[in-house]
């Protein structure tokens, strides 16, 4: 079985070598890019299974790299950031990142997060039955979603969240319930992550059908639901 490929994007050589050593120990192949432009080229060339992406990069910053990659691929992306401001994390998630880790972090913690994100992504691909809710159809095996017959391009995290909502249309989920159902109780993200992903999904659906009422609804003071 081929080893999973991780693209590590960071301009600090010592950090890269430390992370690389831990990931290789866990059985991954690791490709390193030291700037944003190279990261995009490496992502296109090597088709990694997951990308670890620092936000502070030369050439192109991490947010721009994330935006560019998301136009081409739904590969899981974990942001690495020294910024502790919540707004930076939310912006990254809104651009399509699946998770984030704030520096300083232990390499062991990061390796565990990589394993968890890849496991969630693969589990989503293995669930064979199609999910249909109104004009929305999701095929977990192909990791493909359509809305009103048009392809709906979703990241791994967005697909998981929408799958939870679509399996139980009209049920209202709190943010915490969505986090637990989509990512598991051991997920270490925060509830604002859900808001960012939901906003992304809603915008993508509206772009496909700007004249239609969006079925992804906010229930004020509670959470979210998908209307059938």
pLDDT tens-digit map of 89-107: 777 777 778 888 888 888 8
The C-alpha atoms of residue 20 and residue 29 are separated, in whole angstroms, by: 9
User: Are residue 104 and residue 21 in the same domain, yes or no?
Assistant: yes
177 — pLDDT class (breaks 50, 70, 90): confident
User: Are residue 55 and residue 107 in the same domain, yes or no?
Assistant: yes
**Total-model pTM:** 0.64
Q: In this predicted structure, what is the pLDDT of residue 95?
A: 78
User: Are residue 119 and residue 10 in the same domain, yes or no?
Assistant: yes
User: Are residue 132 and residue 109 in the same domain, yes or no?
Assistant: no
User: Are residue 116 and residue 134 in the same domain, yes or no?
Assistant: no
The C-alpha atoms of residue 184 and residue 186 are separated, in whole angstroms, by: 5
Domain of residue 106, CATH code = 3.40.50.2300
Residue 194 belongs to what domain range? 128-226
User: Are residue 33 and residue 112 in the same domain, yes or no?
Assistant: yes
Q: In this predicted structure, what is the pLDDT of residue 125?
A: 55
Q: What angle do CA 132, 181, 187 make, to 5 degrees?
A: 140
User: Are residue 119 and residue 137 in the same domain, yes or no?
Assistant: no
User: Are residue 68 and residue 156 in the same domain, yes or no?
Assistant: no
User: Are residue 115 and residue 173 in the same domain, yes or no?
Assistant: no
User: Are residue 134 and residue 151 in the same domain, yes or no?
Assistant: yes
Domain of residue 211, CATH code = 1.10.10.10
Number of domains in the chain: 2
């Amino acid at each position: 079985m081929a080893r999973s490929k991780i693209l590590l994007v960071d301009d600090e050589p010592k950090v890269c070598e430390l992370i690389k050593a831990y990931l290789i120990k866990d059985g991954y192949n690791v490709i390193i890019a030291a700037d944003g432009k190279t990261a995009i080229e490496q992502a296109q060339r090597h088709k990694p299974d997951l990308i670890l992406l620092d936000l502070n990069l030369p050439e192109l910053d991490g947010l721009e790299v994330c935006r560019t990659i998301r136009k081409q691929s739904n590969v899981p992306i974990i942001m690495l950031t020294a910024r502790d401001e919540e707004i930076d994390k939310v912006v990254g998630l809104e651009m399509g990142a699946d998770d984030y880790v704030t520096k300083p972090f232990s390499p062991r913690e990061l390796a565990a997060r990589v394993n968890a994100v890849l496991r969630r992504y693969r589990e989503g691909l293995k669930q064979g039955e199609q999910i249909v809710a109104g004009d929305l159809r999701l095929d977990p095996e192909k990791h493909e979603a359509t809305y009103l017959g048009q392809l709906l391009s979703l990241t791994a995290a967005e697909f998981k969240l929408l799958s939870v909502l679509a399996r139980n249309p009209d049920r209202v989920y709190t943010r915490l319930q969505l986090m637990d159902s989509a990512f598991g109780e051991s997920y270490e993200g925060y509830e604002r992550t859900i808001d960012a992903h939901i906003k992304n999904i809603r915008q993508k659906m509206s772009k496909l059908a700007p004249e239609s009422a969006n079925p992804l609804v906010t229930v004020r003071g509670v959470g979210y639901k998908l209307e059938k």
